[in-house]
Amino acid sequence: MFKRIAVMMLATLGLNALAADDGKVKTLLKQADEYRLALDSGRVETEVRSFKAGALDKTRLYAVYLKPGHRSLVLFRTASERGQKMLMLGDDYWLMMPSSQRPLRITPMQKLLGEASTGDIATMTWGEDYDGTVSGEETIDGVPCLKLDLTGQRKGVSYPRIVLYLSKKDRHPVQAELYVASDKLAKLARFTLGTVEGRKQVTVMTLIDHLQKERSTEVHYLSRSDKTLSDDYFNPAFLVRADLPQ
C-alpha cells in the first residue's frame, strides 16, 4: 500500500515537473523571440548573402510581412527576382512569378528548395511553432547556454526538430541546430547580436549548410517595423494585385 502511494506521489511530482518544464520552455522561447521579432505583426527587411566555398555567390533582398496565425508574405526585391511574391498561410504556400501573374500553389518541398529557403527568412519566432524540454547546459563560443530540445507543433514548419542554445544570462539565441524531416542535421544557425534603437536584437543569422557542405548563408536583418497589412493581402487571390506597399 505504502509502495503504491509512493509511486503515485512520484508520478504526480513527475507530471508537475514536466508541466513546469513545458511552461518554462515556452517562456524561454518567448524571451528568445524578443531578440528576433518583438512584434506580433510587422515588416522585416532582410538581405541574404549566399556563400559557395567561402566566396560570396549571391545577394538577395526581401521584404517580409508577418501576421499572427502563421501568416507571412515575402516580397522579392532583388533585380533578377523583382515582382516575385511568396505567401505562407500555416502549412499552405503560394508563389507568384511576375512572368505568369497567377498564384501557384506549391508544396512544402518546393518551398524548401527555393532561393535561400524563404522559410528561413519568413520564420522569425519559435514560440508559436515549437515546444520541448530543457535538456542540459553547454558553453557555446564562451557563452554559458541552456540547451533546448524542440519539436515542431505543426507539420508545416521548415525544421521539425531544433536544438536551440540560449544564453543563460539573458536568454538571447546563440546557436540552433536545424533538423529536416529525416532527422538529418540540415543547417547550423548562429546568431549575432547588435544594438538596434537601444535594444539588443539579432542582426545577423548565419546558416551553415550541412547537407551542401560548401554552402553557407548570412541573413542580415536590415530593419524591423510595426508596419502591417490588412488581411486582404494574405489572401492568395490578392497576389495578382499590385497595391502592395513596396
Partner 1 sequence: MKALRRHGRLLLLLATAALFGSSGWADAEGGATELGWTTRLVGEGHELRRDSPFAAGLPLTGFGRDRYRIEQELRGRAGPVSLLLTATESGQEGAKPNGRFLANEAYVDFSLGGQRVSAGKKVLAGDVGYAFRPIDVLQRESRMQMMPPQLEGIPMLSWDNFTTDGAWSLVIANPGHQKRGEARDDGSVALKLYRRITSADFHGVLRKSTRYGLEAGAATSWVPDEALELHASLLVQTRGERRLPMADTVPVAALLAADGAIATETVNSPRKALVGGTWTTAEGFSLLGEAWWDGTAPVATDWQRLARQAAQRAALLGLPGVPAAAVAGATAASTRMFDQGNLPRRGLLARLAWSEPGGGWSLSADLLRSLDDDGTTLTAAASWQGDRLRLDAGIRRYGGRVDSAYRLLPEAATAFVGVSLAY
Among 137, 170, 226, 232, binds partner 1 (CB under 8 A): 232
Q: Three-state secondary structure along 77-129?
A: CCHHHCCCEEEEECCEEEEECCCCCCEEEECHHHHHHCCCCHHHHHCCCCCCC
* Contact assessment for residue 229 and residue 73, using Cβ atoms and an 8 Å cutoff: yes
User: Per-residue x/- mask for partner 1, residues 153 to 172, rule CB under 8 A?
Assistant: --x-----------------
Listed in sequence order, the residues at least 6 apart from 125 whose beta carbon sits closer than 8 Å to its beta carbon are 29, 33, 36, 37
When asked if residue 1 is in the footprint of partner 1 (CB under 8 A), the reply is no
Cell 511576375 belongs to residue: 98
Contact between 246 and partner 1 by CB under 8 A: the answer reads yes
Whose CA is closest to 28, among 161, 124, 170? Answer: 170
Residue 66 · residue 224 · CB < 8 Å: no
Q: Which is nearer to partner 1, 41 or 235 (CB)?
A: 235
Q: Of 7-15, 92-100, 122-130, 188-196, which segment contacts partner 1 by CB under 8 A?
A: 92-100
Q: Which of 82, 154, 199, 200 is close enough to bind partner 1 by CB under 8 A?
A: 82
How many alpha carbons fall within 13 Å on the CB side of residue 140? 23
> Binding mask 206-225 vs partner 1 (x if CB under 8 A, - otherwise)?
---x-xx--x----------
Piece in contact with partner 1 (CB under 8 A), picked from 7-15, 34-42, 90-98, 194-202:
90-98
Based on CB atoms, which residue is closest to partner 1, 199 or 241?
A: 241
The residue count for binding partner 1 (CB under 8 A) is 50
Stretch that binds partner 1, among 1-9, 18-26, 95-103, 124-132 (CB under 8 A): 95-103
Q: Between residue 128 and residue 157, which ones bind partner 1 under the rule CB under 8 A?
A: 155
CA distance 13 to 42: 41
212 contact partners, CB below 8 Å, separation of at least 6: none
Q: Based on the shown chain and the rule CB under 8 A, indicate whether residue 76 belongs to the binding site for partner 1.
A: no
DSSP 40: S
Site membership for partner 1, residue 99 (CB under 8 A): yes
- CB-CB contact of 244 with 233 (8 Å): yes
- Residues at the site binding partner 1, with contacts judged by CB under 8 A: 50, 57-59, 78-80, 82-83, 91-92, 98-102, 104-110, 112-117, 155, 180-182, 209, 211-212, 215, 227, 231-232, 235-238, 241-246
